Amino acid sequence: MADTRANKQFRSQEWFDNPNNPGMTALYLERYQNQTHTRAELQSGKPIIGIAQTGSDLAPCNKIHVFLVDRIKAGIRDAGGIPMEFPVHPIQETGKRPTAALDRNLQYLGLVEVLHGYPIDAVVLTTGCDKTTPAMLMGAATMDLPAITLNGGPMLDGWWKGKRVGSGGVIWEGRRLLAEGKIDYDEFMDRACASAPSLGHCNTMGTASTMNAMAEALGMSLTGCSAIPAPFRERMEMAYETGKRIVAMAYEDLKPSDILTREAFENAIVVNSAIGGSTNAPPHLQAIARHAGVDLHVKDWQNVGYDVPLMLNMQPAGAYLGESFHRAGGVPAVMAELAKAGRIHEGCMTVTGKTMGENITGRDSVDHDVITTYDAPLRPNAGFVVLSGNLFDNALMKTSVISQDFRDRYLDTPGSEGLYEARAVVFEGPEDYHDRINDASLKIDDQTILFIRNVGCVGYPGSAEVVNMQPPDHILKGGNMHLPTVGDGRQSGTSESPSILNASPEAVVGGGLAFLRTGDRVRLDLNKARLDALVDEEEWKERQSEWKAPKLEHQTPWEEIYRTHVGQLGDGGCLELATAYQRIRHQLPRD
Ligand code: FES
Ligand code: MG
Residue 2: the pLDDT is: 59
Identity at 56, one-letter amino acid code: S
State the Cα–Cα distance between residues 319 and 366, nearest whole angstrom.
17
3-state secondary structure of 195: coil
State the Cα–Cα distance between residues 169 and 181, nearest whole angstrom.
18
93 lines ligand 1 (CB under 6 A): yes
State the Cα–Cα distance between residues 280 and 273, nearest whole angstrom.
13
State the Cα–Cα distance between residues 491 and 513, nearest whole angstrom.
17
Cα separation of the two ends of the chain: 33
Closest ligand to residue 93's CA: 1
Torsion-angle region of 519 (φ positive above 0: left; ψ -120 to 50: alpha; else: beta)? left
State the Cα–Cα distance between residues 348 and 207, nearest whole angstrom.
24
pLDDT in tens, the chain (591 residues): 555 676 789 999 999 999 999 999 999 999 998 878 999 999 999 999 999 999 999 999 999 999 999 999 999 999 999 999 999 999 999 999 999 999 999 999 999 999 999 999 999 999 999 999 999 999 999 999 999 999 999 999 999 999 999 999 899 899 889 988 999 999 999 999 999 999 999 999 999 999 999 999 999 999 999 999 999 999 999 999 999 999 999 999 999 999 999 999 999 999 999 999 999 999 999 999 999 999 999 999 999 999 999 999 999 999 999 999 999 999 999 999 999 999 999 999 999 999 999 999 999 999 999 999 999 999 999 999 999 999 999 999 987 777 777 766 666 555 566 778 899 999 999 999 999 999 999 999 988 999 999 999 999 999 999 998 999 999 988 888 888 999 999 988 777 777 999 999 999 999 999 999 999 999 998 889 999 999 999 999 999 999 999 999 999 999 999 999 999 999 999 999 999 999 999 899 998
Residue 480: the pLDDT is: 85
- Residues in contact with 284: Cβ distance below 8 Å, sequence separation at least 6, in sequence order: 104, 131, 133, 134, 207, 211, 214, 572
* 130 CA distance to ligand 2 middle (Å): 6
91 lines ligand 1 (CB under 6 A): no
Residue 404: the pLDDT is: 72
* 465 CA distance to ligand 2 middle (Å): 7
How are strands ordered across the β-sheet holding 82-87? 82-87, 48-53, 122-127, 147-151
201 lines ligand 1 (CB under 6 A): yes
Residues near ligand 2 ion, CB 5 Å cutoff = 93, 130, 207, 492
| Interface pTM, i.e. ipTM | 0.94
* 210 CA distance to ligand 2 middle (Å): 11
Which residue, judged by its Cα, is nearest atom 1 of ligand 1?
A: 129
Q: Ligand 1, from 54, 56, 58, 93: best to mutate by most atoms within 8 Å of Cβ?
A: 93
Q: Which of 307, 300, 303, 315 is nearest to 274 (CA)?
A: 307
